[in-house]
Structure 1
Amino acid sequence: MTRQSNGEFVREMMRWHFDPETGSPFWLERAKAFDFDPLTDIRDFDDLSKFPNMVDELRDVAVRDLIPRGFGDDHRASVYESGGTTGAPKRVMFTAEWQRRSVEWFSERLDAHGVPRNIDWLSAVPTGPHNVGAMAVDTAALRGGLNYAIDLDPRWVKKLIADGRMDMVAAYTDHLIEQIGFILANQEVGLLFATPPMLERLAEHDGLVELVNRKIRVIIWGGTSLDPDTRDLLRDEVFPGVKLVGGYGSTMMLGTSVERPGLGPDEPCVFDSFAPYTTFRVIDPDTGTVVPYGERGQIVVNHLSRTALLVNNVERDYATRIAPPEGGLGDSVADIAPVESFSGATVIEGVY
């Protein structure tokens, strides 16, 4: 996207979100306290730094106030929540328009990796208030597959870990693995969508490893970090012949990013954002300045779409700053790992 079209897109989003006819009650009210005018002072992506980070307000805001008036009654919105890692969950809404666009982009990225269509999915990811479960259902359907899901409650696991109840964590994880085993044994699934901790626990069961290697053609992993050594072990020794594709997303990102296709086995796993709607910056958390390429910093996410405006959102992850694809916006990120604490709370990844 050229700087001119970059600016045109940003200005279009400002008109949508801050025109009283189309904007949401949330942003129209918050704009009254700004020392700048979004309609005249925000001209391109660099100007987004003027906005405050508002995501903590999403813990208790009335979700209906987040729906832009421009959708009228045809928003068909769904409400999703964060995992509650750093406190009370935050809530966002996905209009049907954004869910469709996000799923289509996700599917296109899977095509770029050579992921086959018309195969059924087994998704060991959070459902209920978490969008990733809905993404799995809709993406599998778009690609001609059924989606088999298990119940996975990441908040319960994080609570158990925080309370030191590791015996119950192990029991709950065994319960999840048992459900995965039932589906693997009885259904012809070709794609496994799971978190790294679930894959590591699967690897402890020889019978399930044999089923995965015999039936599964692609593993999509995401939700928690996966260090390079464990990734190499899973790819080369535990599940040889099964294609591994990584994803990095969050509720506040309103979607996911997908591992860059075409990387060699010795290259780091690089994630490209869904630009221009979602863009990354990698900053020095002490100064707020963008770090040089190849250096590590904290991820900041901007999301601009007709559905939502969430900018300057400091994520709870560190990453290495990578140049985006040619013509891309913002940064790409690699070697993602969680910070030890965030917003005064200890970060616990758990099973997601």
Structure 2
Amino acid sequence: MTTLRPNATLHPNSILDGPADHIPDETDLIEAAMRWHFDPRTGSRFWLDQADTLGFDPREDIHTADDLARFPNIVDRLRYVPAGDLIPRGYAGQDDAVYGVYDSGGTTGPPKHVVFMTDWMERLLVHTDQEMDERDYPRRVDWLALAPSGPHMFGAFVRESVRRRGRLGFTVDLDPRWVKKCIAAGRADQADQYADHIVAQARAVLESQDIGVLITTPPLLERLVRDEELHRLIADRVQVIEWGGAHLDPDTRYLLRTEVFPHNRLVGRYGSTMILASAIERDGLAPDAPCVYDSFSPYVTFRVVDPETGEPVPYGSRGRVVMNHVSKAALLPNNLERDEATRVEAPPGRPGDSVADVAPVAMFGDSPVIEGVY
């Protein structure tokens, strides 16, 4: 049993509250985060309640991203835990500390809930802005996002990205839970009708507005390009097409990049509510190269493992994706995701793995994985 006492030498702010554009050392960040999340003065009720069940003291025993594998996977508990219990006590008294509460997509059961803190949103946006500049995303253009909003984090992320670097943001809302429910119940015709409804709304915007950045999912992008007029509008006006939220197989990705949209930038994004972030496609990949994603490390790290043993698979082999999030805002370690990927070496000096050609597993736990439009 671990008894947590206030740490008299607690000084996390120099690391956890560093400038939004500063990337800390892996060990410095993780050790500071363990002190923060497991000190009774600053940790959340959720993690302080978990401490006695861990069998180790995170403040003494967790130093690197690899050490995070010692934690149990707690994300299923986020389906039922009161969301307020996830807020670190160290934020008390800050009126604007919480940005919002968001849900997972509900692909594998009741949605999980996470709390998004304002300081983490700012850090994520600064990092994403830099990534978009590196990939030649235009500034001061109009965006169209075919994406879920409401309880889903991605809608808020797109809205803030447009506010930071775009001009006008147009949106078509998706309800991925309804589409998945229709597919699971065998009502494919209703799922098709819903997708057609989304495309019709997108058409109205694309025909009347000069859209420079299009955010969509692979299933919807494929529907858009079946229409010759919509294909022409996107090819002629849109500078960057960002896809994510669902699997895009390598052959279709190659076709889209080389024949369907040879003069547009097609960029993938891989994210999860359980890391409070996403990973953008590595810059400079050849059209026929695997789609590789590098995480926002050391805050977010990936591992690709054999799901039976939990051990890393060899580089170039397929395995299940494990995700970690470590920041002042949240601690979500050792989450075995519903995706498999090829293990790729991370960029030099970056902890964890990079992942390529991400695709969902057929079953996750006892539930079939249904992607739908997202």
- 1:238 positional shift: 1.9
**Alignment deviations for residues 54-103 of structure 1 (CA, whole Å, 9 cap, x no partner):** 00000011000000111113212300100100000001011011111112
**Alignment deviations for residues 295-322 of structure 1 (CA, whole Å, 9 cap, x no partner):** 1100000100111100010000000000
- 1:47 positional shift: 1.9
Aligned residues: 349
Tell me the SS of whatever aligns to 1:80: strand
Write the distance in 2 (CA, Å) between the matches of 1:90 and 1:162.
20
Q: Which residue is equivalent to 1:41?
A: 61
Structure 2 residue 21 is the aligned partner of structure 1 residue 10: no
Write the distance in 1 (CA, Å) between the matches of 2:294 and 2:167.
25
Write the distance in 2 (CA, Å) between the matches of 1:127 and 1:5.
34
In the alignment, structure 1 segments of 5+ residues that lack a partner are none
**Alignment deviations for residues 99-134 of structure 1 (CA, whole Å, 9 cap, x no partner):** 111122122111111111111110001111111111
Q: Which residue is equivalent to 2:89?
A: 69
57, 64, 80: which one aligns with 2:102: 80
- 1:6 positional shift: 2.3
Q: Percent identity?
A: 53
Letter in structure 2 aligned against 1:6? E
Query: What aligned pairs does 1:295-306 form with structure 2 within 5 A after superposition?
Result: 295-306=317-328
Query: What aligned pairs does 1:111-122 form with structure 2 within 5 A after superposition?
Result: 111-122=133-144
284, 292, 297: which one aligns with 1:270: 292
Q: Which residue is equivalent to 1:166?
A: 188
Q: Which residue is equivalent to 1:201?
A: 223
TM-score (norm 2): 0.91
TM-score (norm 1): 0.97
Write the distance in 2 (CA, Å) between the matches of 1:288 and 1:42.
18
- 1:263 positional shift: 1.3
Q: Would the aligned equivalents of 2:66 and 2:352 in 1 still touch at CA under 8 Å?
A: no
Q: Would the aligned equivalents of 2:247 and 2:358 in 1 still touch at CA under 8 Å?
A: yes
Tell me the SS of whatever aligns to 1:192: strand
Q: Which residue is equivalent to 1:294?
A: 316
* Superposed structure 1 runs of 4+ greater than 3 Å apart: none
Structure 2 residue 208 is the aligned partner of structure 1 residue 186: yes
Letter in structure 1 aligned against 2:334? N
Letter in structure 2 aligned against 1:296? R
Q: Would the aligned equivalents of 1:104 and 1:139 in 2 still touch at CA under 8 Å?
A: no
Query: What aligned pairs does 1:190-339 form with structure 2 within 5 A after superposition?
Result: 190-339=212-361
Q: Would the aligned equivalents of 2:98 and 2:115 in 1 still touch at CA under 8 Å?
A: no
Write the distance in 2 (CA, Å) between the matches of 1:77 and 1:218.
28
Q: Would the aligned equivalents of 1:67 and 1:93 in 2 still touch at CA under 8 Å?
A: yes
Tell me the SS of whatever aligns to 2:307: coil
- 1:240 positional shift: 2.4
- 1:43 positional shift: 2.4
Q: Would the aligned equivalents of 1:219 and 1:243 in 2 still touch at CA under 8 Å?
A: yes
In the alignment, structure 2 segments of 5+ residues that lack a partner are 1-23
